[in-house]
Every structure is written in C-alpha cells, then in structure tokens.
Amino acid sequence: MARIVIVGNGMVSYKLCEKLVEKNSSASITVIGEEPRPAYDRVHLSAYFEDENADKLTMAPKDWYDGNGINLITSEKVSQINREEQYVTTHTNSKYEYDYLVLATGSSAFVPPIKGVEKKGVFVYRTIEDLEMMMAYGKKASSAAVLGGGLLGLEAAKAAIDMNLKTSVVEFAPRLMPRQIDEEGGLLLKNKMEDLGIDILLGKATSNIEGEETMTGMAFSDGTSLDVDMLIISAGIRPRDELGKEAGLEVAERGGFVVNSLMQTSDEKIFAVGECASYENMIYGLVAPGYDMAEVVAEQIANDNKEYTFTGCDMSTKLKLIGVDVASFGDPFCDNIPHYPISINDKKNGIYKRINVDLEGKKLLGGILIGDADDYNMLHQMFINEMALPPHPQDLIIKSSGEEGGAGMGVDALPDTAQVCSCENVSKGDICCSIKDDGVTDINGIKAATKAGTGCGGCLPMVNNILEDTLAQMGTVVRKEICEHFPYTRQEMFDLIKVNEIKSYTELLEKYGSGGGCETCKPLVGSLLASIWNDLILKESTIQDTNDRFLANIQKGGSYSVVPRIPGGEITPDKLIVIGEVAKEFDLYTKITGGQRIDLFGARLNDLPLIWERLVNAGFESGHAYGKSLRTVKSCVGSTWCRFGLHDSVGFAIEVENRYKGLRSPHKLKGGVSGCIRECAEARGKDFGIIATEKGWNLYVGGNGGANPKHAVLLAGDIDKETVIKYLDRYLMFYIKTAEPLQRTAPWQEKLEGGIDYLKQVICEDSLGIGEQLENDMKILIAHYTCEWKAAINDPEMRKRFTHFSNDDSHDPTQKFKRERGQRFPVAW
C-alpha cells in the first residue's frame, strides 16, 4: 500500500484527497496542515464577516476525512523533508514516512519592506485567523486602509466596509487591478468604488507606517500622508517554498517549486500543486488551475497515467467586488498582438465592456467586462474554443435592454468539448449526457451527476442555459410545477385561486392538491392568497415564513425589528418624538435607513404588541419590512424645497406609497420618486422609479440593489401623474400574476420574451387587452388594505401568539445584549 503524505490543507489539498478517493486509490493518505481546522473556501473568505461562521466555508468536515480513511492532522507544521529516507518531520518532532510526497503549501501574503510595518494595527488578509484578529481590532478603530488595489486588495476593502470602517485603498500603480483591466476600465471601477464610499489613492508608494507602537497613519514618498487607524496589507502573494529550498528541491527564480507537466518537482517522488508550484515559470493564483493540478497528481499516483498532464491554464476570471461585476478573459490588453479593440463605456450606468478581435474579425482574443458581466461565460467559451464570430462582432457586447445576449451567443453553438465548469473540469458534453442519458431535468440533478456549479458557482447561468436548450432539443416540455402536492405552475395556481375564489390553503389542497403539503407549496400558496385577496396574513394558518408569523423580521440574537411606515420619508415632529419615546422605553437600537425610515432593533417577542400599540395610537402603520411586499417609496425634497426641483416629488412619493402599501408580491418591492434628473432619490435603483421632467414624469421599471444590482429601464416618458399611476397599476399586477416565486422585477422582466419592448406593448399599448382588468384587480387589493399590526393588537386571539412561552409572559432568558456607542447590541449566538 502506497503511503501518501500531503503537506498543506487548503482547497487544492482537499481536492487532491477527493480525487484520490474517487479513483479508489488504495493508498494510505496523511494530510498535515498548519491551520487549526479542515480545509476551507478561501475564495469566499469575506463571507466570514456576515455571520462569523467558519463552518459555512468548510470544504469537508473532519468526519469526511475519517470516513474515507484519511489521517488529517491540524495545527502542525512540517519543518523538514528527508528525501533520502523519504519522511517528513513536524515541529513537534513527529515523523511521517512517504512513498509519494505532495507539497500543497500554498502561499503567504507578500508584505512589502516598509518601515514600521511591524506596528500594532497592521494586518494581512489571508486566513480566518487573520480575519478574527482584524475584526477584534476593528471594533476600536474608525478607519482602515488597504495596501494593494488588485483582486485581493478590493476583497480586503470589502472586509473593511463590512466592519463599518471608513475605508481607503492605496495602490502603487496608476489604476486599480492593473493586471486585469485597462485604463478606461480602471477609471470606471475607481468611480464605482468611490460611489460606495471608498477613497481610492493611486500612484502612491508607501514609505512609512507612522505612530509609536501602534500605527496612526501612512506616509507616502510624494510627501503626502493618510491618517488611518489600521492597515490591511493585500499586495500580492509569495509561494510557500521554504521546505523545498532546505531539501534541495529546485525553486523558480520568482519562487515556487519547479514542476514538470506531471507536477513532479526535481525529485520524482515529490509533487507540488497549487500556489506553491511553478510551471514554466508561472505561478497560478486561482483555484481552478490548482484543481487541474490535483487531478494530474491523482492520475499519476492512482493510475500511473503519464499521458494525463498539466499544460497550463487559462487565467480568465469573473468575480463580484463589493457588488460590482468585474471579469476579464483571454488577453485583456493584447499589447503585443495585432488586433482591433471594440469597446463601450456607458458612464451613466457604470458599464464598461471591451473585446479584442483579430484583424480578420474571425477570432476573439480577450476582453474586459465591468458593471455587467452577464455575457462572460459565453464570451469566455468563444475565446477558449476559438468559435467563429458573428458578422458584426460588436453585437457580442452591445445589446438592447431585456435581451439575454448578443448575436451568436447561443449555448447550442458550443462544442461538446467546451469546458463549462473550470473548477470541476466539466464539459458541455458531460452536462448534456447527464440530461439525455440519466434523465436529469434540473440544476440540482446536474450538480449531483457532474459536480458542475459546486465550486465557485460562476458557471451556473450557463449550466442552466445548457439544461433548457438540451431539454428543448429533446422535445421535453419542462413544467415548473410547484411540488409533488400541486401539479401546477405558479401562474396556473394563481388562476385557480382567483377564478374559484379559494381563500385558504386547506381548501386549495382539498380541491386541487394531494397529500399533506410541504415547505415549498405552503409558503408559496400563502403568498398567492395574500397577493390575490390582500386579507390579513395572520388569518391564514399557512403563512409565508417566520417573519410573517410575528409581523417582524427576526434578527441576530433572536430579537425582532420594528419598522413603522413613513411614506416618502416625511414625518411630523410629534411622530418623531413618539418613536424616540418608544425606543427609549423598550431600549431599542435605533437606525435611520437608506429608505428614509427609522428601524428599531432588539424588540423582544412579547413586547411587540406593546410597542406597536404605542405606535399605532400615534398614527403609524406597519412598514412591512418583514413581508414580500412594498417596503418604501423614497423621495428627494423636490420642488417644495430644492431650487432644481421640477415637481413635488415628496407628495407624489407619499401618494404612491399609500396606494401600494401592503401589496403582497413574489418578492419585495421598492420605489423612488426624484424631483429632477439629478436623481437624489436613486429612483433607477428601485423596482419602479419616477423622475420629474419638464413635461411631466418618466417612469422606470425593473431596477434593484442587492447582490445583482440592476438599473431600471424607461417604460414611458413625459407622462402625467394619472398615467404614471395607471401604468404602475398594470405593471405591478402583471408582475404579481406572472413572476416566479421569489423573483424580483429585474430578472422577471429580463426573462420575458421581448423584454422591455414587450412590456411597453402590454402596459402602455394594452396589446393583450388586459389593461382594464389589471387596473380593476389593483383597485380590489387597495380597497382591502388593513394595517396588519393594528388588526393584530386589537384581536385578542392574534395577540396571544406573541409570547415566548405558552404559560408565561416573561422574556426569553437566552437573549443576551451588550452596549456599544450608547445603544444596545445583540451578543452573537
């Protein structure tokens, strides 16, 4: 039995273990890692700031290693390699013999030789332990700087933002991400970062970290300085190759163990994979090449397959930096290659796209995408498979709103050999076979059969397109049935409820369903009933989720939020005083939101009725922050106060919010009304936005923030208020009737055949003849509106549910709080 020792326990090390297990290797495997935990996902390291849950990043738990006969040793460092006798020694003097040794030591953060870099407050951004130290230090800091404006640096900036620190990025080069994007793209990215509140300092060489024992600032070689409390260094990586140097293994000039195409070092019994390996003088800093290397080594060890080799890897990449899509593929610059570039620079919407085409216009050489990288997967495939370009290559990046892609962008044009998932090396052919031969009909089935999309997840949009295209070619009609209890689509269920005037889940299940229902159909039906009849959500025994059950968002620590509605952000001093009194009496954390409301956090469940009784008596209504419904309609001060304002945006925002308050929908809804084109209400970032013009109002639809932000697009221009309301009634009802569950307006209208042009025909031209019906349906919903909290506090039976215990009115004793900045905060669970 061969003895395999793997030094290092990162993502590539785990992948090698997984590949060896898959190939039924009978070897004895020992993994030795310095960190105190099993391998975890460094690609999504910044997600740790969301909930401080390291388990969510874990590639596989310790049980997985044990279950597969792998000896995992953590918190131990290999200090020496004895090549002659083939064993390694750790810092505890433990000895492990090997037949094959795999070095997966990864890399360390490069720390520039700057005077004062050893001071307190200076950190590197590399491991979970690094993040924990940063978070602890960040609690007493107010500002942070990130040294390095590359991929890692901007990820570190996201970490600083998540810690609520005033953040600056310091970059030596004249633009951000200088290895991936060009000057124009760098300028646009800089503007986007600055819009997010991050200061960008370019062309800055740091000469000194100022302060005594603790840093207080940074001094630059041009004589300028920056006052800052802490510094995060993210200026690149250095291969961890110190073991090889001591053992006499060949090391590349720029670092890293020199390997051949079999991933062998200068000792044929020792392999190297990942960021510590130098293949043809190249260090690959992405995870996908490391996975390819792991596959090669597994083939050598398990099958002695000398024909399976590593030949380099495409360094194309797509990622979301602080909510901004950034992607590059192929050669983004083509500095030394004859080519002609095609680019668009939409500064208004923050989108930059560039593709490089050969002089004959037949081949794609590379490109850059910023702000909108939806076409990355297809463009990348066209590059690596050298696919023929359409007659007008500019069509690849220029598309009208609502289109899924430009000319020649269909996945049917991809060859079966096209690598769709680079993390797991899954081709289009692999995916098609799982559909045609194994009967797979959904994304989860493809993940299980091929592992496509289980890595970084960037390939999932293309995987889904291949799924739909293949099923269509097979003549398979895929109905998006809700679940096994209801053989209907959401739209069919909507019509069944409406036409048959069904008012409860039980009645619907008896007439059109089977079995006892499940956690898929119950909340969906609850949403439909609320959207169709607008009855009190608490009357329905099967309601959408926990938040609806208690008419409040459950928050960290088990407490709840209280969010009264403040239409248009306009509030009287008397109402403002009541909010302050309630917050003070119940010791609630108070925050003004971006949607012009006041959030009150930390309410205990049994205090909710008491709090809302005070608020309702003062004239407040439920703000529906807990529901899939209208949240806010944000406004600027408009013509009432602003010298640039054209119309009364506040009054119109209040009118619109009061019209649609309580409206239940497939997903949450937000609106905005701006008094002029300066757009202070950020209306185009909302599901619907209304902007004043000289002649009336422009109505925009289909925008949203969040993980995939979208700008709303123009539905109708220069229309009066009455027409705005009419079109909004139609638009919102059409959305409620036809969208998928939990689908926001942006992806809904993008996936409509014809996109915004089709919507204009339906909403503005009434091409389907349903305009009047949509308006009448909206009138019914508006007429049935009742403040949910007012009803709840006045109904003794409803009020009984707001207790932690069935026989006791006391608070939940497990809830713990602490005080910071003069307010109460939850203690982490």
Q: What residues form the annotated binding site for siroheme?
A: 680
CA-based Rg of the chain, rounded to a whole angstrom? 29
**CA 4 to mean position of chain CA atoms:** 38
Which has the closest alpha carbon to 435: 462, 466, 458? Answer: 466
List CB contacts of 229: < 8 A, sequence separation 6 or more: 121, 140, 141, 142, 143, 144, 165, 215, 216
Query: How far, in Å, CA of 693 to CA of 647, rounded?
Result: 8
The DSSP secondary-structure symbol of 341 reads E
Query: How many residues are there in the chain?
Result: 829
Q: HEC states along 545-597?
A: CHHHHCCCCECCCCCEEECECCHHHCCCHHHHHHHHHHHHHCCCEEEECCCCC
Query: How far, in Å, CA of 10 to CA of 15, rounded?
Result: 9
Structure token digits, residue 192: 């986007």
Strands 3-7 and 28-32 turn out to be: parallel
Residues β-bridged to residue 688: 671, 701
First to last CA, the chain: 46
Which whole-number Å values give the CA distances from 288 to 68, 530, 738, in the listed order? 24, 46, 39
Which has the closest alpha carbon to 119: 207, 224, 210? Answer: 210
Place of tokens 């297809």: 378
Query: How far, in Å, CA of 324 to CA of 322, rounded?
Result: 6
Which has the closest alpha carbon to 605: 554, 655, 569, 661? Answer: 554
- Strands (E) across 331-383 are located at 340-346, 351-357, 364-370
**CA 775 to mean position of chain CA atoms:** 36
Q: HEC states along 181-218?
A: CCHHHHHHHHHHHHHCCCEEEECCCEEEEEECCEEEEE
Helix (H, G, I), strand (E, B) or coil at 215: strand
Query: How far, in Å, CA of 804 to CA of 813, rounded?
Result: 10
* Binding-site entries: 636, 642, 676, 680
Which whole-number Å values give the CA distances from 64 to 14, 58, 494, 643, in the listed order? 11, 11, 45, 66
* Binding-site entries for [4Fe-4S] cluster: 636, 642, 676, 680
Q: Which secondary structure element, helix H or strand E, spans residue 449, and what is its range? A: helix 443-450
The DSSP secondary-structure symbol of 154 reads H
Contact between 328 and 367 (Cβ < 8 Å): yes
Query: How far, in Å, CA of 24 to CA of 21, rounded?
Result: 5
Strands 340-346 and 589-592 turn out to be: unpaired
Structure token digits, residue 730: 């139609």
Query: How far, in Å, CA of 506 to CA of 679, rounded?
Result: 47
Helix (H, G, I), strand (E, B) or coil at 502: coil
